[in-house]
Amino acid sequence: MLVDIHTHRLSKLKNNSIYNLKWEELPHTLQSEKEGYFSLGFHPWQLNDFSETKLELLSSLLSDKRVLALGECGLDKNSNYPLHEQEVIFEKQILLAEEKQKALIIHCVGCFNEVLAMKKRLRPSQKWIIHGFRGKAQLAEQLLRAGCSLSFGEKFNETSLRLTPLEQLFVETDESPLPIEAIYARLAEARGCKSSEMNAGAQWLNSL
């Protein structure tokens, strides 16, 4: 099974994909969909979505077995919200993911030192997946050494892809209209392996 760990396209929702829910489509999307998995969180661009009431709602939704991950959440230097505010809300989500034992799908642009510092300080036990990773080899190595997983999509750095161990390598469509099989095929070609060898996503789903 070729697992798509992060998509924003509802049309891609299947039993091998994790659809990133939008706050405005709750609860009907979650109630109406019969197959597939979900993630939900507060994106650093849209922190106006955040409130303590919604954090409580998120906490209760994470008890739904189909909601596999909290995210996307994280830090972005291009966000309109001050970094300090982003860090406060990200930390609340990290702690909630720990409490509910869910993986984090992390959106990070230009704030990797801050993300790594939070990981070091909070010592989370749950999986941290850096989604849409396009960074260079040195950054990839740093994140992998810290225990993060990397998720690759349509655009990626080939050297980083090659050096990522298969057990820390995830695949996603994100906003891309391409089918997940096409993304796997591109990555497999660049990495010199078979699509089916990149099975960290499938193993993760099977382990839950």
Question: Least distance in Å: CB of 69 to Zn ion?
Answer: 12
Handedness of CA 148, 151, 152, 153 (dihedral sign): negative
* 47/63 with CB nearer Zn ion: 47
Q: Which residues contact 121 (CB under 8 A, 6 or more apart)?
A: none
| Amino acid code (one letter) for 151 | S
Among 129, 65, 152, residue whose Cα is nearest residue 100: 65
Task: Specify the 3-state DSSP secondary structure of 157.
Answer: coil
Question: Least distance in Å: CB of 77 to Zn ion?
Answer: 17
Among 67, 62, 58, residue whose Cα is nearest residue 20: 67
* 41/60 with CB nearer Zn ion: 41
Question: Least distance in Å: CB of 68 to Zn ion?
Answer: 15
Binding footprint of Zn ion on the chain (CB under 5 A)? 174
Which residue has the CB atom at the shortest distance from Zn ion?
174
Question: Least distance in Å: CB of 172 to Zn ion?
Answer: 8
DSSP state for residue 151 in the 8-state scheme = E
* 87/174 with CB nearer Zn ion: 174
* 106/144 with CB nearer Zn ion: 106
Task: Specify the 3-state DSSP secondary structure of 146.
Answer: coil
What is the phi/psi pair of residue 38, to 5°? -135, 155
* 117/178 with CB nearer Zn ion: 178
User: Tokens 């019969």 belong to which residue?
Assistant: 34
Question: Least distance in Å: CB of 5 to Zn ion?
Answer: 10
